[in-house]
Amino acid sequence: MNLQGVSVRRMALLLAGLAMFGPFSIDTIFPAFAQMGAELGADKLAMQQTIAVYLIAYALMSIVHGPLSDALGRRRVILAGLAVFTLASVGCALSRDLGTLLAFRALQGLSAGVGLIVGRAVIRDLFDGDDAQRLMSQVSMIFGIAPAVAPIIGGWILGWQRWPAIFWFLVAFSVGLWLATWRWLPETHPPDARAPASPRRLLRDYVAIFRNSRFQRLAAAGAFNFAALFLYIASAPAFVMDILALGERQFGWFFVPMIGGMMLGAWVSGRAAGRVSGARLVNVGFACSGVAIAGNIAYNLLTAQPQVPWAVLPMALNSFGIALVFPIVTLAILDMYPRQRGAASSLQAFTGLVLNALIAGVLSPLASRSGILLALVGAGFLLVGWGFWRWEARRDRTRPRALPVAPPIEPGEPL
C-alpha cells in the first residue's frame, strides 16, 4: 500500500523517533544507577532489575501491540501507547522507593513497544520489496542514535539535577512524539483490511505463526544475533565503570562506536537494496560479527585491564554486522503473513525480548564480572544465531533472493 503524499524522509524520522523511546527508557538511566541505588537503598543486583522488569513487561505486551494495530489501526494504537508511556514516566520521576519505581518501570515496558513493533508494520504497509528495505534501513540508521546519545544525555542531566530529572526528560520526549504522530502519521491500515479483535482469533494466529518452523528459524537467528550485542548493552554500567574504569559521564566511549557501526551497517543495507541479495547481506553480516567476536575474545585473553578504544572497537564491527542482518530477517518475517503483519511483528519482537529479559535479569549480572566472561557468552549467542541462519539457508537454497512466503491465516482456517 503506497500512500500518495507521504514524505519518505519525514516518515523515516518519525518512525525512528517512535522506535527510540524504548531504548531511551533503558539507556538514559545507566549513568544514574549509583545515585539511584544510594537513594533507594538498592545494590547493583537490585538496580539491574529496573531493566529486567521493564523488558519482561515489554515482552509480554509486545504480543498484543501488533494484533491491536491489525484490528484498530496503526495510528490509534501508537497514540494510546505514547500516552500511557508518558504517564508511566511521570510515575517513575515521582517514585521514592524501589518497589514503586519497579511498578512504573513495568508500566513503561507495557507501553514502550508500540513505536518499534507497530512501526515495522507501518513500513511494510507503505512500501514493498527494495523500497521497504531502504526505509527500514533509514529508520535503523536514525534509530541507532538513541543508544549512543541516551546515556550521554543521562550523564549531562545528572550534572545539574538528581536522577528524577532523567524521567522528566522522558516525559518531554514522549509528549513531543505524541504531537508529531498526531500531526504527521497517516493511518496505513484501512478499516477494510483490519482483522477482528478476537482473543480466540489472536490465539489461533499466534499458534499458527509460532508453529511455522521457518518463522522459528528466522526469529531465532535475529534474536540470538542481537543478543551478542545486547549482553553488553544490559551490562553497560558494569562494563563502563567497573571493567573499563570510566566515569558516569563517559558512557559515550562504549555507545558511540557501537552505534556508529550500526548506523554505517544500516546505510550499507539501504544502498545495497536491489543490488545485493538479502541472503548474501545476511551472510556478510554474520561474518563481520564473527570476526568482531573473535577479536574481542583474543583481546580480553591478552590483556589484564581492558582499555578504550581497543575494548570497544569489536562492538562497532559487531553492530555493523547486526545492522546488515536485521532488515532482511524482519522483512522476510513480515512478508510471510501479509494479512497479519502486526501479529508477526509482535511475535518476532516477543521472541527477542524474552531472550533479552533473561540476559538483563540473569546472565548480565553474572557475565559482567569480567571482560572475558562477557566476550565468551557473547560468542555463544552469535554461534547459536548463525546456526539458525545456516539451517534456514540450507532449506532455502532454491530461493537466493526472495524468501518463500507463508500463506496468510484465513478466518476459520484450522490449525
Higher pLDDT, 159 or 282: 282
pLDDT at 366: 87
**Alpha-carbon torsion angle 253, 255, 260, 266, nearest 10:** 170
Question: What is the model's pLDDT at position 122?
Answer: 83
Contact criterion met (CB below 8 Å) for 367 and 373: yes
Please tell me which residue, 321 or 160, carries the higher pLDDT value. Answer: 321
Q: Is the pLDDT of residue 370 over 70?
A: yes
Sign of the dihedral defined by the CA atoms of residues 36, 39, 40, 42, in that order: positive
361 or 110, higher pLDDT: 110
pLDDT category at 403 given cuts 50, 70, 90 is very low
For residue 191, what is the DSSP state? G
Assess whether pLDDT exceeds 90 at residue 108: yes
Predicted local confidence at residue 224, as pLDDT: 95
Q: At what angle do helices 341-358 and 199-211 cross, to 10 degrees?
A: 70
- In this prediction the pTM is 0.70
CB-based contact 408:337 (threshold 8 Å): yes
More confident residue, 289 or 1: 289
What pLDDT score does 22 carry?
A: 77
Residue range 144-150: average pLDDT? 71
The predicted structure's pLDDT at residue 149: 78
Cα dihedral sign, 237-242-244-247:
positive
* 8-395 placed in CATH 3.40.50.300: no
CA-to-CA distance for 128 and 138, rounded, in angstroms?
Answer: 15
Does 405 score more than 80 pLDDT?
no
Look-up of cell digits 477482528: 196
Mean pLDDT of the chain: 82
pLDDT over 90 (residue 104) = yes
Query: In this predicted structure, what is the pLDDT of residue 79?
Result: 93
* 143: confidence class by pLDDT, cuts 50, 70, 90: low
For the CA atoms of 105, 354, 33, 152, what is the dihedral angle to 10 degrees? -100
Q: What is the pLDDT of residue 171?
A: 95
Q: Compute the distance between CA of residue 246 and CA of residue 318 in angstroms, rounded to an integer.
A: 22
Ramachandran region, residue 4 (left: φ > 0; alpha: ψ -120 to 50; beta: rest): beta
Residue (of 256, 231, 220, 251) closest to 144 by Cα position:
256
Asked if pLDDT for residue 320 goes beyond 90, the answer is: yes
Nine-digit cell string for 267:
546505510
**155-167 tens-digit pLDDT:** 889 888 899 999 9
Residue 409: is its pLDDT beyond 80?
Answer: no
Q: Could you tell me which residue, 400 or 278, shows the higher pLDDT?
A: 278
3-state helix, strand, coil in the chain (%, to 5): 80, 0, 20
Q: Are 181 and 113 in contact (CB under 8 A)?
A: no
> First CA to last CA across the chain, in angstroms?
29
pLDDT reading at 133 higher than 50: yes
In the prediction, which pLDDT does 144 show?
64
pLDDT at 199 over 50: yes
What share of the chain has pLDDT > 70, as a percent?
89
**Among 30-44, 152-166, 168-182, where is mean pLDDT lowest?**
30-44
pLDDT value at residue 141:
67
Give the confidence band of 73 by pLDDT, cuts at 50, 70, 90.
Answer: confident
Cα–Cα dist 18/14, whole Å: 6
- The predicted pLDDT at position 381 comes to 95
The 10 Å CB-count burial string (b at 16+, else e) for 302-336 is eeeebeeeebbbbbbbbbbbbbbbbbbbbbbbbbb
